[in-house]
Amino acid sequence: MTRDAARTPVIPGFFPDPSVCRVGDGYYLVNSSFEYAPGIPIHHSRDLRTWTQLGNVLTRESQFPPGGSAASRGIYAPTIRHRDGMFFVVGTNVERGGEQFVVTAIDPAGPWSDPIVFPGLGGIDPDLAWDDDGRCFLTYCALDEALRPEHGSLPVIAQVRVDLARGIRLEDPRVIWRGTGLAHPEGPHLYRRGEWWYLLTAEGGTERGHAVCVARSRAIDGPFEAAPANPIFSRRSTGFPVQNTGHADLVERPDGSWAMVYLGVRPRGFTPGFHVLGRETFLARVAWVDDWPVVHTDDVLPTRPDTAFTDDFATADPHPRWVSPHGALPGPHPAGGLALGSHEFAVRVRDLRWRFEARVDVSAAVALRVRLDEQHWYEIALEAGAAEVRARIGPLEASVGSASATGDVVTLLVEAVDATHDGPDDLRFGVLDADSERWIAALDGRYLSTEVAGGFTGRTLALRALRPTPARVVSVRYVPLGDE
């Protein structure tokens, strides 16, 4: 099957707000992580098409305390840049008044420094750029009322010169761009190409009206003029299978050509269309016409991203794909495997159709949850030799089926399969034990979608103990179903 970049994410699943930089012949990409810790996943690629997760940027409590964020808050829209042998990631912790912070590393796999915090810059989506004199500029989406009194509730793009060595700002922030007229100008990135500085932004909001816009100036601090063809990229008001496209970042390849990473979603089902994986990372190529970027999405991707995995916790530490929305990751169990606590031990769902298996002790009190947030989840819970399927949608919670489980080890099952109604999929739950594999209940997947729950994240698969005594998980297996 031919895969084109317009329809196929290069990093599928909940990996939004991509930012990329190149060092030599390697590319490094970071994404928003919101409430999940460790925070800010970082990937590496040699070709922009095939990506491998190196780890996470925020791995210590001194960088991002676990359990400190509500759903779809926490860490927003980081930018990654490289200069003079050092990697820089600048991001926003919205739980701390929208403060902007910078962490650094020589090795992108870590360790990363503790944050350099720049207070008094209320906003989101920061960017770092250096001018020809080596001065560092932090450009961000400002939410401070003092910077936008005549602009109503719309944010503006602001800029401030900073000293990263001393961790201070050198001036008051100033507005450099108010957008092209669409809603919510945000996600700024600055680039130098030839005699021009380019300011790339997201506009229209991160839903169906999302778009990529660009402006340029002879100076890093403006004044900026808008491209005559803005927005330079959007899928709004189309029937294209990938929607909400925007929040992009540009990178120059070694041969002088340019590429763009951006976020998009894959809604499915009847109107309004339901996306369940969150916002994913896509790739486009960029041509330059009259010194303006023109976006093309006709590249052919060589293979489907390899999302299948098996993790045997009896023999290896957790892969960096594992995160938690509320607490530290679990440690080893005395009997082998992982000792689950009450905090959810989670991994992002990567595909539209998939199967997940978790092998656990039959004596354990443990749950396998498909989670969008605290108010929207389905789970299968094993306790006292019985498996029960439960659902929560907003304030409503109910049991929807149960079955006995036999044997010493039980495999909890969940699959995302084709929808039987008008939703994006059905989620069915079951067990594999000494007797057989059998399904207990199937639930409409639309209620675990962003269109129902709101927010900015995607589904995760989470394991947790139901009692204070740690529960042992032996291994897990995730496989995609079908060919997307």
Nearest residue to 187 via CA among 150, 233, 218, 229: 233
C-alpha span between 143 and 155 (Å, rounded): 5
Q: Which helix (H) or strand (E) holds 52?
A: strand 52-58
Q: Please, what's the b/e burial string for 117-141 (b: 16 or more CB within 10 A of its CB; e: otherwise)?
A: ebeebbbbbbbbbbeeeeebbbbbb
Helices (H) and strands (E) in the chain, counts: 1, 38
C-alpha span between 176 and 158 (Å, rounded): 6
> Which residues are bridge partners to 87 per DSSP?
82, 105
* Residue 344 annotated in active site: no
Within 10 angstroms of residue 107's Cβ, the number of other Cβ atoms is: 10
Is residue 367 within 8 A of residue 344, CB to CB? The reply is: no
| Paired sense of beta strands 156-163 and 75-83, if any | unpaired
C-alpha span between 143 and 154 (Å, rounded): 8
C-alpha span between 188 and 203 (Å, rounded): 10
3 state DSSP class of 412: strand
The three state secondary structure string of 103-149 is EEECCCCCCCCCCEEECCCCEEEEEEEECCCCCEEEEEEECCHHHCH
User: Catalytic: which of 35, 186, 280, 415?
Assistant: 186
3 state DSSP class of 34: strand
Show the CA angle centred on residue 160, arms to residues 82 and 247, nearest 5°: 60
C-alpha span between 349 and 362 (Å, rounded): 25
C-alpha span between 115 and 130 (Å, rounded): 19
* Residue 186 annotated in active site: yes
Show the CA angle centred on residue 417, arms to residues 415 and 423, nearest 5°: 120
Please report how many Cα atoms fall inside a 13 Å half-sphere around the Cα of residue 414, on the Cβ side. Answer: 28
Show the CA angle centred on residue 212, arms to residues 230 and 276, nearest 5°: 140
* Residue positions annotated with a catalytic role: 17, 186
